[in-house]
Amino acid sequence: MDISVETLWAMPEPEMIELYHRLRRAYAEKRFARDTERGRLNWQRARTFLAAKGGVSERQNAVDASEELAKKGQHVRELTLEHDLIKCDIDAVAAAMRMRGFASSPTTADEQTTADAGS
């Protein structure tokens, strides 16, 4: 999101709510994509570990030396960065909404994740 704090502060309430909604959806989509890629990477690492010959150290070294797995690990780190940046945007919009005194303040992404984990 390339929006200044001043623009966010001056934004009408319906637009701000719509922006908050879009950001929350993007956050959920990025989280799903990141978790899916992380799961695939772990599965591929385990498969590579089992396919390698030798003792545990040699097998682990084979997994660590795999260029393909290293590239996929970098991709997961990039997805995590995008995910975290969207979370920062959500937090900024939520803070602006609270400061402007909206009737009920929205929950932040962390609070929602914690609430989802507890259910």
Interval 45-81: pLDDT, tens: 999 999 989 999 999 998 889 999 999 999 999 999 9
Cβ neighbours of residue 33 under 8 Å, at least 6 residues apart? 79
20 in a structural domain: yes
6 in a structural domain: no
| Element at 108 (helix H, strand E) | none
Confidence at residue 109, expressed as pLDDT on a 0 to 100 scale: 57
3 in a structural domain: no
Q: Compute the mean pLDDT over every residue in the chain, rounded to the nearest whole number.
A: 86
Rounded to whole angstroms, the Cα distance separating 41 from 35 reads 10
2 in a structural domain: no
Note down the domain range covering 56: 14-114
The count of domains in the chain is 1
pTM, 2 dp: 0.73
Confidence at residue 89, expressed as pLDDT on a 0 to 100 scale: 92
What mean pLDDT is predicted for residues 32-37? 96
56 in a structural domain: yes
7 in a structural domain: no
Q: Is the pLDDT of residue 105 over 80?
A: no
Cβ count within 10 A of residue 97: 21
